[in-house]
Amino acid sequence: MSRIRSLELRLISQPLVRPFRTSFGEDTTKDAILLRMETDDAEGWGECVAGPEPGYSEEFNEEAWITLRDHLAPRILGADVSSEELTNAFAGVRGHPMAKATVEMALLDAELRGAGRSLSEHLGGERDRVACGVSVGITPTVEDLLQQVEGYLAEGYRRIKLKIEPGTDVERVRAVREAHPDILLSVDANAAYSLEDVDVFRALDELGLLMIEQPLSYEDLLRHAKLQRELRTPLCLDESIRSAADAAAAIELGACRIVNIKQGRVGGLLEARRIHDLALAAGVPVWCGGMLETGIGRAANLALAALPGFTLPGDTSASRRYFREDLTDPFVLDQDGTMAVPTGPGLGVVPHGDRIERATVRLERLGKS
Ligand code: OSB
Ligand code: MG
């Protein structure tokens, strides 16, 4: 264990190679908080998965910044606290899983760098490469969609996920299915529908989808269970699962048959592993979701995806799917649709100093270094 000396909060902005549109909004840049932590032993990096707007969850950058600076940092600065003890240290702060996960990622990175162990090894990863899918945003036209899908398949991606919203759903998905009868294909509604839209889901149910992700409100496990009973296609929950307790409830209720695990959404990598463990025990497949992370958060996602229960391709896409230039060395997709799990100590990546400086729009140092 070693003392946490200082923290550096950074808001970065990076252009995306193409706009990413979902049922809750559109991003043309990736705007995120990065955290650099210094302990007596080592330095560590964390990336917050919150975005500029509270569209996907309640958390957003300006709020996460304040939570990190005024509520989380004071609970750990100067303290000898381990990653295992963070939940306790943060017990007085309700919610804010994305802000908390940022601290945990940086602390794990520092601890493991100090110990010379990789994050994947520490979490119990069992593979050195993971199968990758890609999440395709809502496009202006069906032609654009077909063209993007074609491009990603040519790169080797093993599963295509289409973002849908009411009015831009069955017809689009059918067009992709007809063009590619045999691919693993899924859809993600980001909570845009209600049970009144059951006909949309019945139509999607005919298209041989791998899963339908988060069709209904994040608060509504009960109606997801009702919808699941009407469909052959497995439902997958993303926004609804904010903790291991949520995952246990969803599985027991039959609200989903697949779970999307995102470390940021559930308060960190250690809680993510607990969800993995309970899903594996229940025979429920999981996969690693994504939040358009830079190379820092991407490294953490790949480490997590190396655990044995991650049996479906994740939204762990290559750097070039998001950025012309990533903040770290780029993550590259192999032609076979897999990506290497980082093996270096901690996250196994560090951001390039010059790129990080160029991307930084705000910087605040906390504690004495
Ligand atoms: O619902 O999975 C989602 C991106 C931002 C917010 C929510 C989601 C997504 C994605 C992209 O689907 C996944 C990725 O490529 O990182
Ligand atoms: Mg999702």
How large is the average pLDDT for residues 237-245? 98
Query: Rounded to whole angstroms, how far apart are CA atoms 301 and 44?
Result: 16
Q: For the chain, what is the domain count?
A: 2
Give the ligand 1 atom nearest the CA of 214: 1
- Sequence-separated (6 or more) residues with CB below 8 Å from residue 180: 149, 153, 160
What average pLDDT does the chain have? 97
Q: Say if CB 73 and CB 366 are below 8 A apart.
A: yes
- Express each pLDDT in 258-277 by its tens digit: 999 999 999 999 999 999 99
pLDDT of res. 179? 98
- Express each pLDDT in 49-89 by its tens digit: 999 999 999 999 999 999 999 999 999 999 999 999 999 99
- Express each pLDDT in 194-227 by its tens digit: 999 999 999 999 999 999 999 999 999 999 999 9
Query: Rounded to whole angstroms, how far apart are CA atoms 16 and 27?
Result: 8
| Cβ 14 under 6 angstroms from ligand 1 | no
Residue 221 Rama label (left phi>0; alpha psi -120 to 50; beta): alpha
Asked whether residue 219 is domain-assigned, the answer is yes
369: pLDDT strictly greater than 90: no
Q: Is 100 a catalytic residue?
A: no
pLDDT bin (cut points 50, 70, 90) of residue 301 is: very high
The two beta strands, 4-22 and 235-237, are unpaired
Asked whether residue 273 is domain-assigned, the answer is yes
Give the ligand 1 atom nearest the CA of 260: 2
pLDDT of res. 5? 97
CA distances from residue 48 to 107, 322, 368 in whole angstroms, order as listed: 13, 17, 22
Q: Give the distance (Å) from ligand 2 centre to CA of residue 236.
A: 9
pLDDT bin (cut points 50, 70, 90) of residue 359 is: very high
Residue 228 Rama label (left phi>0; alpha psi -120 to 50; beta): alpha
Mark whether 97 and 72 lie in a shared domain: yes
Q: Say if CB 251 and CB 284 are below 8 A apart.
A: yes
Q: Say if CB 22 and CB 163 are below 8 A apart.
A: yes
Tell me the two tokens of residue 279. Answer: 């899903």
Nearest residue CA, atom 13 of ligand 1? 290
pLDDT of res. 368? 79
Which is it for the CA torsion 60, 109, 310, 273, positive or negative? negative
- Domain span at 293: 121-340
pLDDT bin (cut points 50, 70, 90) of residue 43 is: very high
Query: Rounded to whole angstroms, how far apart are CA atoms 129 and 336?
Result: 11
Look-up of token digits 């950025």: 323
Mark whether 139 and 100 lie in a shared domain: no
How large is the average pLDDT for residues 175-193? 98
> In 262-332, where does DSSP find H-type helix?
269-282, 295-305
Asked whether residue 13 is domain-assigned, the answer is yes
Asked whether residue 345 is domain-assigned, the answer is no
Mark whether 109 and 126 lie in a shared domain: no
pLDDT bin (cut points 50, 70, 90) of residue 2 is: confident
Percentage of the chain lying above the pLDDT 90 cut: 99
Q: Give the distance (Å) from ligand 1 centre to CA of residue 109.
A: 23
Beta bridge partners of 288: 261
Asked whether residue 346 is domain-assigned, the answer is no
Q: Give the distance (Å) from ligand 2 centre to CA of residue 115.
A: 34
pLDDT of res. 60? 98
Could you tell me the CATH number of the domain that includes residue 260? 3.20.20.120
| Cβ 47 under 6 angstroms from ligand 1 | no
How large is the average pLDDT for residues 214-241? 98
Query: Rounded to whole angstroms, how far apart are CA atoms 216 and 323?
Result: 30
- Express each pLDDT in 123-159 by its tens digit: 999 999 999 999 999 999 999 999 999 999 999 999 9
Mark whether 166 and 98 lie in a shared domain: no
Q: Is 163 a catalytic residue?
A: yes
